[in-house]
Structure 1
Amino acid sequence: MHVRVGLLTGGGDVPGLNAAIRAVVKRGEGEHGHSIIGFRNGWRGLAEGDVMPLGRQQIRNVLPIGGTLLGTARYHPHSSDGGMDAVLATLEAERIEALIVVGGDGTLHAASKVAEAGIGIVAIPKTIDNDVWGTDRSIGFDTAVTIATEAVDRIHTTAESHNRVMIVEVMGRHAGWIAATSGIAGGAELVLAPEQPFDIDKIVKFLRHRHRAHASFSIIVVAEGAVPAEGTAMQYETQLGRFGEIIAGSISERLKVEIAERTGFDTRVTVLGHIQRGGTPTPTDRILGSRFGVAAIDAITRGETGVMTALRGDDIVLVPLAEIAGKVKQVPTELLDVAQALA
């Protein structure tokens, strides 16, 4: 049965997206005989009818390349004037019978709204934050952790050489997956995550004791969404940009001032920012993107929509979109305890 399948990537780019696109095209066109129609720049391209037919020529040699060959944008049709009507008009004009959407929480929330309008959708989770509920891993997370861990490794040597406190800020607005995993892998002394608001007095006490007793340097990995606990000595409100995004460096720069003033230790900040998103995907992300892409197009072939591909253990499963809407997968306490135990 031939199906015209739409495909888009939304939200922030991550390494491994091209692996998913490639898998959808190779499996969909080669195995099932479907036509794959790409939309440039996420939901915005779908609303504007910015079409890019996808065949074997378009996906040649893309597997090791970061980013997304379709482009992406932070645009949500359900929260834009006329956005939903424009999306539905494009789908009708292009005779799209089913839609594969690759994205994080914002993109998947938009997908659930479009699904409610009667469009057959299969979603694929991607986010370096790894906070999409319902899946053990999202595309992009492994590469981001690898990059962050390498950064912490490199900062170790300069911290020790100069007897400094080094603060490394990683992404993670609502969940501290990158902070916890790269902190453990890189041997950081402290990990600060949104799941566990911190006490600046306890941090200062820990650093003073460490530097007095057995070390002349310390490394703190902090997620951008980390905040002080209510009622503690540090007052701070998360700094947001015009699109509601956290302003990079705001929490780490504030921590630097607090620690330097309270301890007298030379304290420096490194904000990894978009470096975590860029470059070549790890083999793990290439494999995960490929598996999700195959599972998504296979689901459409079976007529199974309104679902998201997910990794559960070693298995790829399908999760109803309605189950994941509005939920955030936070870091389990056990993983954060490991990070603190190894300080």
Structure 2
Amino acid sequence: MRIGILNSGGDCPGLNAVIHGVVGAASERGWETVGFRDGFEGLLPPGDFKFLKRSDTAGILKLGGTILGTTNKGNFAAKVGAGDVAKVPQEIIDKAKKTLDQLEIGALVIVGGDGSLTTAHQLYEDGWPVIGVPKTIDNDLQATAMTFGFDSAVTSVVDGLDRLNTTASSHKRVMVLEVMGRHAGWIALWGGMAGGADVVLLPEMPFSMEKVADFIKLREAQGHHSSLIVVAEGAKMPEGLIAKENEHGGELRLGGIGAMVAEQVEKLTGKETRSCTLGHLQRGGGPTALDRILGLRFGVMAVKLASEGNFGQMVSYQSYHVGSVPILDAVHKIRTVDPDGEVVNAAKAIGICFGQ
């Protein structure tokens, strides 16, 4: 048996752990592993790949990014926007299939987010022996309770808030931290709670800047002269606007709402306010212990599915157990924060304001 693996879409802490898990589990079975460079593009003739041995993955657990490289551009960029999906041209698929056949790949592990898994499902429908592994720091994929990379991103947010808190306290300022997550508020919610934020603004929960301002004024009257606000990049301003930088490769690139919130807070409260965008710092650096273990387990399960010939499946984490679900159950279905859920209610119970 010869198994292939590729990473597609954005980079993410824990990708190397998945590679380590696949290569290790495959080696134990006496299988060969072929790593394709730069995502699906590595499949196109003449093929850009490398045979991976255990020695190639020694020591990569602690590394961020991916040793195989990745891309969200090129011939296989099927995702064209939130909820809108385009098919990869059949001639591109046929070219890539030749590489797969020439290398005698018996199973192809595709590690990616919603867009990449959409492509994976198209390839499976075309007869490819595909297995999906969910990857996104946004934690917004349906059919899995958690994705690797999320914990590392949250840890980055917490570190940022810890640092902003000291300067906010020193200058009696309001500090606004804009975080990633696209159309889901998981990073903002978890990072805000763990980092001691006073206000958390999410895409799933409409908010009023007046309510936020009133809350900060109340804190001021109670003797709390500094405040921390976390806002998800996909949160909508009260006017219904989503801050966006531009369109990039068909995908809406979000950003800028932190500065908008800071401007309104200063205007409505008179408090000196500063904004900071954490940006790609959330996706960089080494993975946390949780993401290393989760990535390893995902990689091992992918090899198990390959051994069973269980293709068209995506590795899934539910109730502390790693199993699998059909890829189709995971794509086109974004998992968002429940405004009435237990986590939000826990945050409200300790006095966190959601601008409502």
Distance 2:166 2:142 in 1: 37
> In the alignment, what sits opposite 1:94?
103
Change over 3 Å in CA distance of 1:235–1:141 after alignment to 2: closer
For residues 16-36 of structure 1, the C-alpha deviation after alignment (integer angstroms, 9 at most, x for no partner) is 11111011011102x211111
Find 2:157's aligned residue among 148, 171, 178: 148
- Where 2:230 maps in the other structure, the secondary structure is strand
Letter in 2 for 1:168: L
The change in CA–CA distance for 1:77 and 1:223 in structure 2 (over 3 A counts) is closer
* Residue 323 (str. 1) matches residue 326 (str. 2): no
The aligned runs of 1:153-232 (5 Å cut-off) are 153-229=162-238
C-alpha contact (below 8 Å) 1:14/1:128 kept by paired residues: yes
Q: Give the equivalent residue in structure 2 for 1:108.
A: 117
**Correspondent of 2:298 among 292, 297, 303:** 292
Q: What's the counterpart of residue 31 of structure 2?
A: 34
- Which residue number corresponds to residue 276 of structure 1? 282
Give me the whole-angstrom Cα distance separating, in 1, the residues matched to 2:295 and 2:120: 19
Q: Identify the structure with the greater helix proportion.
A: 1
The runs of 5 or more residues in structure 1 that have no matched partner are none
Describe the SS at the equivalent of 1:316. strand
Which residue of the other structure, out of 54, 70, 73, is the alignment partner of 2:71?
A: 73
CA RMSD of aligned residues (A): 1.6
TM superposition shift of 1:305: 1.1
Partner of 2:84: none
The letter for the 1-side match of 2:253 is I
Partner of 2:82: none
1:227-260 alpha-carbon deviations (Å, 9 max, x no partner): 134xxxx463431332324243x11111111111
Deviation at 1:86, TM superposition (A): 2.7
Distance 1:26 1:237 in 2: 44
Q: Please, which moves more after superposition, 76-85 or 50-59?
A: 76-85
1:57 is the counterpart of 2:62: no
Bigger shift: residues 279-288 or 200-209: 200-209
Checking the alignment, whether the CA contact within 8 Å between 2:235 and 2:242 is kept in structure 1 is: no
| Count of matched residue pairs | 335
Contact 1:16–1:66 under 8 Å retained in 2? yes
Q: Is the 8 A contact 1:143 1:285 kept in 2?
A: yes
Give the unaligned 5+ runs of structure 2.
79-86
Distance 1:12 1:175 in 2: 16
- What code does the residue aligned with 2:151 have? D
Give the superposition deviation at 1:77.
5.2
Query: What residue is the counterpart of 1:46 in the other structure?
Result: 43
Q: Deviations over 1:110-152 (max 9, x none)?
A: 1111111111111111111011111111010111111111111
The residue matched to 1:44 in structure 2 has which SS? helix
Deviation at 1:302, TM superposition (A): 1.2
* Whole-Å separation in 2 of the counterparts to 1:323 and 1:196: 25
Distance 1:85 1:222 in 2: 44
Partners of 1:181 and 1:302 lie apart in 2 by 37
Aligned to 1:138: 147
Which of 257, 267, 270 is the equivalent residue of 2:273? 267
Which amino acid is 1:99 matched to?
L
Q: 2:4 aligns with which of 3, 6, 11?
A: 6
Q: TM-score, normalised by structure 2?
A: 0.90
Are the counterparts in 1 of residues 174 and 271 from structure 2 also a CA contact under 8 Å?
Answer: yes
> 1:341 — aligned with what?
349
Aligned-pair identity in percent equals: 41
2:83 is matched with which residue?
none
Which moves more between the two structures, 201-210 or 270-279?
201-210
- How far the C-alpha of 1:313 sits from its partner, in A, is 1.2
Write the letter of the residue equivalent to 1:41: D
Q: How does 1:108-127 map to 2 (within 5 A)?
A: 108-127=117-136
Structure 1 position 258 matched with structure 2 position 264: yes
Stretches of 4+ moved more than 6 A in 1?
none
One-letter code aligned to 2:159: E
Rounded Cα–Cα distance in structure 2 between residues aligned with 1:69 and 1:95: 23
Length-normalised TM-score, structure 1: 0.93
SS in 2 for 1:205: helix
Aligned-residue offset at 1:261: 1.7
